[in-house]
Structures are given as C-alpha cells and as structure tokens.
Amino acid sequence: MQKFLYITDQEEYTEHSFIGPLFEKYLNKHFDINIVYFSKYKVEFETRNEDKFIIPDQFRKNPIAELEKNGVNLDDYEYIAVRNDINILKEVIQRKPIHKYKVAFRLSFPKRIAKIQTDEANHKKSFLDVINNKIQTYTETNLINECDIFLPTSRQMRDDYLKDVKTRTFVIPSAIDPDMLTNNIQHEGIEKRFFYAGTLDKLREFETILDAFSELSDGSYKLMISTKDPEYAENLVENYNEIKDHIEIYNAKTKQELLDLIAKADIGIALLPDISLFNSSTPMKVLDYYSSAVPCIMSNNENNCSIFEDDDSAWISDFSKKDIKEKLDYILGLTKDEVAQVGAQGQARLLAVRNYQRIADDLAHQLNIL
C-alpha cells in the first residue's frame, strides 16, 4: 500500500472533526497514512501508535528535517500533504526533487484573511497589514502552483482568495462521518431550544441575532450559546434585559461536551454576515448540528443553498433583523415533529453529498491519477 504523510498545523490531542474521520478512518483504507502533529510541551520527537509523529514546537519551521533526523525515510512516501502552513509547504517543495513524492496543499480556512477582517471590524487594521497580505498571497499562490494538487474547503475559497492558482484542484469540504451520527434528544416541555456554537466577536455581529430574538412575541424558547469566551457572551447579553431569562451560556471544553449539548437542542443557529469569508464554506457547526439530526437556521448564500432546501432540510435566512425574526416566528409556529423532520431530511441530504467516506474514496482516486 502506498504511503501518505499528512503534516497538520495542529497541536497533539486536538479533537478535530475533519482530520480524524477523513485521514485516520476512511482514507487509510486506500493508503498507509502517517500524521504529523506538534507539541508545546514535548522537547523530543515522539512516535505514537506507529502512525503519528509528534514534533516539538521548536522544530515547527523545519519538520521535514526533524522527521529525517529521527529515522523517517521520505523516500517511502508517495504523497506528502501540508495543512495551511505555507512555510512548511516551502520546505516540502524544496525536498520534492530529491525524494520524488507528490505534494498536496490543504487550505481549510483563510486564517490570515479572517484576522484582517476581524481587525477591520475592531478598527485595528493597518496599511501594513494590507501590504503584507498581498505579499503573502503572491508567495502562497506561487508555492501552491508548484504542488501536484490543491485541496481547498470550497472552490469559492480558491476563487476569492487565491484566484491565480492554476494547479489541479480537488475540493474537500467539511462533512459528516456516517459512523458518528447521534440521536436528537427531545427535551420535555413546550419550549423550543435554539443553539449557537462558536466564536462571538464584532465580525460575526451576533447582536443582529439577539435583536431578532428580542422582537419575538412568542416567548416559548431558550437560546443556548456555547463559546470559548463566555465572558464576551455575558457582556453582550447584559444589553438585552428583555430576553436575558431566555438565554443560557455554556463553555463546552471538549468536542463530546459540545455534541452532548447540541443533542439536547431543537434548532441550530449558523447565521453569519454576508461576506466572502463566511460564504466560502460550510461552518463546522452545521455539520455538528446535523450529525445529531438537529436542523439549522443558516445564512442565505450560494454554498448553503447548493446543499439545503429552505423549509425542507434547513431554514435559510438573509442576515438582517427583519428576515431572521420572520424565520424564527415561522419556526416557533411549527410542531416539534415538524422541526424534527427538517433535521432528519437535512441529515439524509448531507449523508448523500457531504460524507467523509465518499470524499475519501474520491480523493484516493484523484491522488492515484496524478
């Protein structure tokens, strides 16, 4: 079986909904896969379970050299893929003529663009940031064009941020694992429980969603929020006295804690402002919701509309107080069985078009024909 090395940008012990199912479960039916993680706490190279390499953070800039120093023979690999880190990609490409492997680059999310747009929302963006972004984008484009295959989360992500990339592209979107579906636990009581998971900041304009909830005449709901910055959420909610009693704030520490919370909700919330950064891919939270058959109210964009049908497998809304309020009113008027049906249909739709097992089979084919 051909060998495949995946160099992540992740810390060891990271719970990752993409790397685990795609690379550790399904793609390894096609290739012998080794995965590289990094560690802030270790000072020496470590091999774990024979298929994972842990590299201390101090060697993050030169992981290929560190692998070789510790007896990993790069000649054994037919493919080496790099996740997000352009500096690591540069080293991998430099070694390519020596070891004759094929190179893939995975772009999961344009983090640099996200930072610039967040800084802009907080009035912190500088002219130097803009110039630096242009320089780095030019460098990234040139390096990706030296790869054998480019693996963005969506074609729109490539077209929006790396439009001059010409190398073969195979889109790997976020998806659901057909082996990891959980039952939706219907809570007792008449209220409908809405759930928001993820970051809260000025860029995401969560106030617009709270404004919509504050205008509802039907008070038979709870809004559950799980975020890594609960203090920010609490400060935000302080401005909404009329709905504070309807809001519960959580800080799920692990993926399992988050999934347990989601399973107890009725409707997931994945509403984000209409900007390219958010429109270019399906938020991971959507996949988490539908893994538990929890239907979702989501942004009206091309990516979401290509997967889901409004009022059938999801509820789709423009990002405005008026439109969100109207959609929330509609959902509150549905029976619990009608809500659950939308979740079941959305989950079935994702299993058909966003399924890690199928994606792994298609990726293996693409790699084999390079």
Element (H, E) at 260: helix 255-263
Q: Over 128-160, what HEC string results?
A: HHHHHHHHHHHHHHHHHCCCCEEEECCHHHHHH
The confidence score (pLDDT) of residue 131 equals 80
The confidence score (pLDDT) of residue 47 equals 94
Burial profile 20-57: b = 16 or more Cβ within 10 angstroms, e = fewer: bbbbbbbbbebbebbbbbbbeeeeebeeeeeebbbbbe
Count of alpha carbons within 13 Å of 312, Cβ hemisphere only?
7
Domain segments of the chain: what residues? 3-175+355-368, 192-353
| Angle subtended at Cα 341 by Cα 336 and Cα 345, rounded to the nearest 5 degrees | 155
In which residue ranges of the chain is pLDDT below 50? none
The confidence score (pLDDT) of residue 114 equals 67
Identical fold for domains 3-175+355-368 and 192-353, yes or no, is yes
The confidence score (pLDDT) of residue 54 equals 95
The confidence score (pLDDT) of residue 264 equals 85
Please name which of 155, 114, 104 lies closest in space to residue 277, comparing C-alpha atoms.
Answer: 114
214 touches 243 (CB < 8 A): yes
Architecture category of domain 192-353 in CATH: 3-Layer(aba) Sandwich (3.40)
The confidence score (pLDDT) of residue 235 equals 93
The confidence score (pLDDT) of residue 251 equals 94
Decide: helix, strand or coil at residue 64: helix
The confidence score (pLDDT) of residue 300 equals 95
Architecture category of domain 3-175+355-368 in CATH: 3-Layer(aba) Sandwich (3.40)
The confidence score (pLDDT) of residue 120 equals 66
262 touches 233 (CB < 8 A): no
